[in-house]
Amino acid sequence: MSSDFAVLSVNGRMTSDPKTFDVGTTKKTVFSIAVNRYFKKKDSEQREKRTTYVDCVAWGPRADRVSKFGKKGAKVTLSGNWETDSYQKDGKEIKRDHLNVEHLSIFTAPETDGGSASHTDEDIPF
């Protein structure tokens, strides 16, 4: 029997600094990105912006990298599995979708020279 899964790739900007937690013997980093899309309406020449917010979770070495290099406003390119978690709160089931990050690139602007640096999965030595 084969497994079905949803793979998502997104480009956007981090909406806040990431938050990292210890979970057993590994790290978990959570963050959100804003993905902007621009389009023209049929009856207008004016462009309209629509923003989609994507909650993300990174584990282990990726969590460490997001925590080290990620910051509010950083451009990121991510791909991973789309997942839904559920939990009980006040007797009601709460469901929450997120991107479980498998591959990432973080593009930052160093404060010293105004250029840009890129940190990809290849930066991880293992």
Q: Is residue 2 part of a domain?
A: no
Q: Domains in the chain: how many in total? A: 1
Over the stretch 52-108, which tens digit does the pLDDT of each residue have?
Answer: 999 999 999 999 999 999 999 999 999 999 999 898 999 999 999 999 999 999 887
Q: Which pLDDT does position 124 carry in this prediction?
A: 45
Q: Is residue 43 part of a domain?
A: no
> Could you give the angle at the alpha carbon of 98 between the alpha carbons of 21 and 109, nearest 5°?
70
Over the stretch 98-111, which tens digit does the pLDDT of each residue have?
Answer: 999 999 998 875 45
Domain holding 73: CATH number?
A: 2.40.50.140
pLDDT for 123 beyond 60:
no
Distance CA 77, CA 26 (A): 23
Q: Which pLDDT does position 119 carry in this prediction?
A: 52
Q: Is residue 93 part of a domain?
A: yes
Please count the helices (runs of H) and the strands (runs of E) in the chain. Answer: 1, 7
Q: Which domain holds residue 78?
A: 7-38+49-123
Bridge partners, 47 (sequence order)? 40
Distance CA 93, CA 65 (A): 32
